[in-house]
């Protein structure tokens, strides 16, 4: 029963990944593309978790954590780029107040 459930979950996650890939390619706006990329990374993390459950191993958990952290940082950077047009703000020099 567990094998059937994990196989079904992997198929559904793959289907969701394919739909998100289509949205990345054909998305009308950059915001749609950013949301689809974030969804794709969530799908990859879910796929790794289900794959790890299916084969009863813990070796993939580290990879899942790295992908999740990098995905979060990438999503924040892309959102800041869409909002301001740059990722890193330049510091403005302050004159010493004496």
For residue range 33-87, list pLDDT tens digits in order: 889 999 999 999 999 999 999 998 988 888 899 999 999 999 888 888 888 888 7
Long-range contacts (CB closer than 8 Å, 24 or more residues apart) made by 8-16: 9/46, 9/50, 10/47, 10/50, 10/51, 10/54, 13/43, 13/46, 13/47, 13/50, 14/47, 16/43
Q: Model-level pTM?
A: 0.78
């Amino acid at each position: 029963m567990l094998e059937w459930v994990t196989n079904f979950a992997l198929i559904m996650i793959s289907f969701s990944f394919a739909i998100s890939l289509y949205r990345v390619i054909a998305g009308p706006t950059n915001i749609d593309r950013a949301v689809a990329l974030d969804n794709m990374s969530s799908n990859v993390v879910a796929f790794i978790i289900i794959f790890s459950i299916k084969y009863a191993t813990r070796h993939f958990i580290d990879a899942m954590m790295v992908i999740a952290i990098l995905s979060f940082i990438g999503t924040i950077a892309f959102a800041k780029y869409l909002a301001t047009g740059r990722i890193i703000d330049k510091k403005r020099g302050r004159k010493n107040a004496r």
